[in-house]
Amino acid sequence: MSRFSNQLLAHAASASAVLALVFLMGAKSPPTRFDEIDVGRINVREPDGTLRMVISNRAKFPGSPWKGGMLERPDRTSFAGMLFVNDEGTENGGLIQKGTIGADGKPVAGLSLTFDRFRQDQVIQLLHREEAGRASSMLAINDEADGMQIDVNQRAARMAEIDKLAPAAQEAEFARMRASGQLPANRVMLGTTGDKAAALSLADAQGRPRLMLLVTADGKPSVQLLDESGAVRKTVDLEAK
């Protein structure tokens, strides 16, 4: 065998050894690293292509991920932020934020971090709003309908149909939906108000506030007990003698 043939065999053996080593190591390439990156939008996907998260500027902010597709949301044109997407490719919360100077020269700002019930709307929300010189921040905890019984899009379609009815019929249909648990109901609201008070509101399953703890901006604390119609039935003024 010639010297060239011997060299060729040696190179082939060496290449085979390298390929075997790569195979044993999983043939994984090292992750790409960046010190800084400018993008308009990032889509995080599973290996099968399922969308799991979106981080986006305002111009490229998506609609609403739904069962692996995307529903149009023309109301989402003024926010930048992040969307969370569950295993089936459906939106289940997110973070949106904006801030600018309004025509009156005062800030118009907002931030909302939400977590949704499966195929439904938000059950936890951290919210800040600022407009016309007034600002408020709050934590809201809500009851939501079972998304397997009526999902957020089915409910929206039903409410659009109800909007076409006469006022009395609308009220009756909304009452029926509320009684059957198909409408959202705020249960807990904790935060500050536009007049600088601090408040805690606890509501029943129908979303009717029944207990209110309040401290006004000037430091006056009170406890209010409310009936089903929202009327204050008893007030405990902690500063009263």
Q: Domain of 233?
A: 184-241
Tens of pLDDT, residues 75-114: 888 999 999 999 999 999 999 999 999 999 999 999 999 9
Domain-embedded: residue 168:
yes
**Residue 204 and residue 160 share a domain:** no
As a whole number of angstroms, the distance between CA 213 and CA 198 comes to 8
Which of residues 164, 182, 200 is at a domain's end? 182
Q: Is residue 197 in some structural domain?
A: yes
| DSSP assignment of 120-152 | S-EEEEEEEEEETTEEEEEEEEEE---TTTS-H
Number of domains in the chain: 2
Q: Give the pLDDT confidence score for residue 26 in this predicted structure.
A: 54
pLDDT at 12 over 70: no
* 134-171 confidence digits (pLDDT tens): 999 999 999 999 999 999 999 999 999 999 999 999 99
Chain centre distance of CA 197: 26
- Domain match, 188 and 174 both: no
Helix, strand or coil for residue 226? strand
Judgement on whether residues 190 and 175 belong to the same structural domain of the protein: no
**Three-state SS for 209?**
strand
Closest Cα partner for 210 from 188, 195, 193? 188
Determine, yes or no, domain membership for 167: yes
| Predicted local confidence at residue 4, as pLDDT | 46
199-228: per-residue pLDDT in tens?
Answer: 999 999 999 999 999 999 999 999 999 999
Burial of 127 (0-12, 13-18, 19+ CB in 10 A): middle
Helix (H, G, I), strand (E, B) or coil at 208: coil
- Return the residue matching tokens 């409910």: 155
Q: What is the pTM of this model?
A: 0.83
CA distances from 129 to 82, 134, 136 (A): 18, 8, 5
Q: Is residue 57 part of a domain?
A: no
Percent of the chain with pLDDT over 70: 87
